[in-house]
Amino acid sequence: MNADIVDIRDFYATRLGEAAVRSVSTALEPIWKPISQERLVGIGYVTPYLDKLSRDAERALAFMPAAQGATNWPPQGRSLTALVHPAELPLGDACIDRILMVHALEFAESPTEMLNEAWRVLAPGGRLVLVLPSRRGVWTRFEHTPFGSGRPWSRGQATRLLRETMFTPSGFSEALHFPPFRRAGLLNLVGVWDRIGRRCWPLFCGAIILEATKLVYRGIPVTHGEKQRLKRLRPVLVPHGAPALHREAEAARPPPGPGGEPA
C-alpha cells in the first residue's frame, strides 16, 4: 500500500515524527562520509533529512514518486522538488554523487527497476543510502507512521537486492529503537528509550540503513539457451564451404593406375 504525501507530511509535523528524524539522522552520521562538491538527490519523502544533509552539497534535489505525491521544498526560495517516476529519473547518466532513499523502495512496484535507475544516474563509485522499515521492528505493526506501510525489509533481503543490481554494500546502521509512542508523557522518554535500545535490543529496531557503492563494471548474465548456442558456433576463420570443396576435389581426381600413379 502506498503512503499518501499528506499523511507522511502530517506525521513528520508531530513530536513522534520529529523524534524519528533525530533517530534516523543519528544513525546516518557514521556512514555519511563527506563528498567534495556533492551532487545529492533524495528519492521518496526525504525533505526532513535533506534539511540537515544538504548543507555542504553543491546541489541537492528532492524527487518524489508520482504515486505518492509531492510537497514544496525548501519552504523558502526556489523549489527543488520534482514529481517523478522512480524507474525513469529525469537525469543524465553518471551525473549524481549520492542518492538517499527514504519511504521509497518499500512502496516501489519494482524495487529492481528503481535500483537499476539509481545505478544509471550515479557516477562511478557513487553512493546509495537506503532507509528501510525493518521487518523485525515494532514500527511495521502500527499504521499511524509511514514505516508501517509498504514492504518491510530485512538486512539480508536488502543486501541481496543491492548485489543483484550491481551495488556493493559498504555500511550498515539502525534507527528507531523505541516504540512509536503517541502519548505526550511517553514521548518525553524517547531519547532514553533510543539509547537503551541501541545497546539492548538492536535487532528490533524500526528502521535499517544501508549504504552501497556503485560497481563500475557490470557483468552480463549468460542464460542456458545462450550457452547451448555458443557451443554450436563454428570458428570464424574456417570457411564454411571448405569441407564441401574438398569432397568435390576428391571426386574429380582420376582413379590410380596399376602402379599407384594416376591413370
Q: Looking at residue 62, which CATH number applies to its domain?
A: 3.40.50.150
Q: Within 13 A of 12's CA, how many CA atoms are on the CB side?
A: 19
- Asked if residue 245 is part of any domain, the answer here is no
pLDDT in tens, 201-222: 777 798 999 999 998 865 555 5
- Asked if residue 235 is part of any domain, the answer here is no
* CA–CA separation, 237 and 80 (whole Å): 58
- Asked if residue 231 is part of any domain, the answer here is no
List the domain range (segments joined by +) for residue 166.
5-214
**Domains contained in the chain, number:** 1
- Asked if residue 120 is part of any domain, the answer here is yes
* CA–CA separation, 207 and 204 (whole Å): 9
- Single pTM value for the model: 0.79
- Asked if residue 247 is part of any domain, the answer here is no
- pLDDT range class, residue 235, cuts 50, 70, 90: very low
Residues facing 39 on adjacent strands: 59
- Asked if residue 221 is part of any domain, the answer here is no
Of residues 2 and 248, more confidence is placed in: 2
Q: What is the mean pLDDT of residues 140-160?
A: 92
* CA–CA separation, 133 and 115 (whole Å): 17
- Asked if residue 252 is part of any domain, the answer here is no
- Asked if residue 241 is part of any domain, the answer here is no
